[in-house]
Amino acid sequence: MRVDVVSIFPDYLSVLDLSLVGKARQRGLLDLRVHDLRDWTTDRHRTVDDTPFGGGAGMVMRPDVWGQAIDEVLGAGTGTRSEGAHLIVPTPSGEVFTQRHAESLASAEQLVFACGRYEGIDARVAEHYRSAGVTVHELSIGDYVLNGGEVASLVMIEAVARLIPGMVGNPDSLVEESHGAAGLLEYPVYTKPPSWADLEIPEVLLSGHHAKIERWRRDQALERTAARRPDMIEALDVAGLDKHDLKLLAELGWVPGADGGGLTRA
Ligand code: ABV
């Protein structure tokens, strides 16, 4: 996979040399390039922004500079522009990035991250590349505001990179994790020592009884999800729940809706 990140703070992305993403690059699974947006300016002051039309606070990033940068990293006009290119614009006004986005982006040929400051990039940039047939995603990493798109890009790149086939040592660890297909948070995990700070390991995990352990973990996942993420309980597919799940959820105050849809509070 080819990943290009364009930013006025390219040094902010230097952590991508480390850890899992760094390994993916060393192993040739990921061709990641970080670019300085100012390399595409043409004026003496290397200007990337200007005052907003219609007035208001802050500065808006100029579409002409962004257009030159994005055209070049997409290989526009060189015959190398891949059909599988996605342009990702991190913005607090975007859709919220989820594991579903990460899964879908993991099979893309090229991802281009356009890191803007929080006041934003001239809206014609996203419009232009959509019209040109590029898949454009305006995405937020959550309901809080950052100063720029750099950290949001780091988050999304890490979430995508670990899903590239051959990346994670044991692919089983991708199966049961939080925000996976089950639609539940992960159960709590424990390791040695068996007694620590006067706290013991739940007995069932020492029993060697695999069916009981599986059931306990599922109960823990359901209880955790109900307590922490009621929105995920509402979104559960009732058809994927067994009678034990439904009994536990009823005890926690959740019952199948009258319309046969998801779950609602009793
Ligand atoms: C991108 N906040 S994504 C640019 N939650 C600036 C701020 C920001 C993003 C997010």
Rounded to 5°, angle at Cα 244 from 241 and 247: 95
Q: Would you write out the chain's pLDDT as a tens digit for each of its 266 residues?
A: 999 999 999 999 999 888 778 888 888 899 999 999 999 999 999 999 999 999 999 999 999 999 999 999 999 778 877 778 999 999 999 999 999 999 999 999 999 999 998 799 999 999 999 999 999 999 999 999 999 999 999 999 999 999 988 877 667 777 667 788 889 999 999 999 999 999 999 999 999 999 999 999 999 999 999 999 999 999 999 999 999 999 999 999 999 998 877 899 99
| Residue whose CB lies within 8 A of the most ligand 1 atoms, among 141, 151, 155, 157, for a mutation test | 141
Q: Which atom of ligand 1 is nearest to the CA of 118?
A: 6
Distance in Å from the first CA to the final CA of the chain:
47
Which residue among 146, 151, 156, 157 has the greatest number of ligand 1 atoms within 8 angstroms of its CB, and so is best to mutate? 146
Question: CA 31 to CA 112: how far, in whole Å?
Answer: 12
Q: pTM for this one?
A: 0.94
CB 29: neighbour CB atoms within 10 A?
15
In whole angstroms, what is the distance from residue 128 CA to residue 121 CA? 12
Q: How many Å apart are CA 82 and CA 187, to the nearest integer?
A: 41
Tell me the CA–centroid distance for residue 153 and ligand 1, in Å: 9
CA 200–ligand 1 middle distance (angstroms): 42
Task: Count Cβ neighbours within 10 Å for each residue of 135-167 and write b for 16 or more, e otherwise.
Answer: bbbbbbbeeeebebbbbbbbbbbebbbbbbeeb
Distance 64 CA to ligand 1 centre (A): 21
